[in-house]
Structure 1
């Protein structure tokens, strides 16, 4: 695997995207930085990480040879690769807070930002950005954040964690390329945070309502069982899961 290490960059996703424009990259080329100055998350949120203590990186995946009807499967693959990695390192009670935040118990330890590359109206590649809290122990004004060190008391090799994630991405992308989408989706749904538990949500108008998470659609919408016994689907802009 080809890993590019940077002391600092504004965004590993942006850096990787600029490389794609200039050259043909090897599959699973990764860019890792000690300090990401303008890290981004889902829906335009900002990802802040203490320099040198966390894993902030992006991975290039060539999907030109895939038959991929629903791009959300890339998000599922990324989440499962992270879960497999965290299980390997002994992190307990892992779940996916839809669509792809990774939690240990109810504390967020990882965020994912996926940006797809489209050429001639066809998706040819994906840039999978991940921010994983590894050895940072203080998160000012972020009571719902945690890290591998806080959870286990151990100091982790960031390089070892990164290589393990990349290998697990390779594992799940082989499943995806072979068309084993049902296996991927079933495993992802089994890890959904608060699945089948009474939960409170906030809609786009700011109104709260209750329901039970039942799963996701192939396009990535969340399936929620409402009080009137009807299952309704919501996309990312329509709903927010409250703790």
Structure 2
């Protein structure tokens, strides 16, 4: 992999997206920063990270034949790559919370933001942003956040963690290129938070509580929840809240 190290930047995703417009990038080019001042999460949420203590990086990946209708499998591949890396660290209750947060003991350990460049009916390339809480101990105003150091009570080598994630990402992207969609979906669902378990949710559109169980992810990437009447309803981002 080609690694570009920055002391500080507003957003590694934004930096890498602009760089990709100016020059032809090698596949799996990585931009890593010590400090990210305007990190972004899903649906314009901010990603907060203490400088020098965490992993904040983005990876450029190009594709030869990935159709837009198959983009959920890209999310499966990326989420599973990070999950598999962290699973080797023997973390408690490690899960993927739809669409691609990584939780340990029901607290957020990692966030992922995938931004795609489209050409006709295909995904030409993606910039994959990953924020992993590693050696940070205090999360002001973020009671649901956790780090590897809090869990394991030891410091982690950021460079080694980065290398392991990229290796696993390459493996999962290979599955994607080979159209091993069933494998990617099986691995993702087997790690999915609250999958097939009766749980309480809130419909954020109608603002009402309901019982249901997650049964899958639609082709459009929406969360599929089976309701008490056995009907399955699809929910997009910001349309459902886990309780």
CA contact (8 A) 2:68 2:121 kept: no
SS of residue paired to 1:59: strand
Task: Show the counterpart of 2:240.
Answer: 239
SS of residue paired to 2:174: helix
**Cα displacement (A) at 1:111:** 0.4
Q: Which runs of 5+ in 2 are unaligned?
A: none
CA contact (8 A) 1:73 1:218 kept: no
CA contact (8 A) 1:59 1:127 kept: yes
Task: Give yes or no for the alignment of 1:221 onto 2:222.
Answer: yes
After superposition, residues 61-100 of structure 1 pair within 5 angstroms as 61-67=61-67, 69-100=69-100
Partner Cα distance (2:10, 2:155) in 1? 26
Partner Cα distance (1:121, 1:72) in 2? 14
SS of residue paired to 2:173: helix
**Cα displacement (A) at 1:120:** 5.4
Partner Cα distance (1:109, 1:87) in 2? 12
After superposition, residues 47-196 of structure 1 pair within 5 angstroms as 47-67=47-67, 69-119=69-119, 122-196=122-196
SS of residue paired to 2:143: coil
Q: TM-score, normalised by structure 1?
A: 0.95
**Cα displacement (A) at 1:4:** 0.5
CA contact (8 A) 2:68 2:122 kept: no
Distance 1:40 1:142, change over 3 A: same
CA contact (8 A) 1:79 1:188 kept: yes
* Pairwise CA RMSD: 1.4
Partner Cα distance (1:121, 1:23) in 2? 23
**Cα displacement (A) at 1:211:** 0.8
**Cα displacement (A) at 1:240:** 2.1
CA contact (8 A) 2:67 2:123 kept: no
SS of residue paired to 1:20: helix
**Cα displacement (A) at 1:142:** 1.4
Partner Cα distance (2:213, 2:38) in 1? 35
**Cα displacement (A) at 1:24:** 0.5
SS of residue paired to 2:163: helix
Task: Give yes or no for the alignment of 1:25 onto 2:11.
Answer: no
Q: TM-score, normalised by structure 2?
A: 0.95
| Farther off after superposition, 226-235 or 144-153 | 226-235
Show CA shifts across 1:102-121 (max 9, x none): 00120110001100012456
**Cα displacement (A) at 1:237:** 3.6
Task: Give yes or no for the alignment of 1:2 onto 2:30.
Answer: no
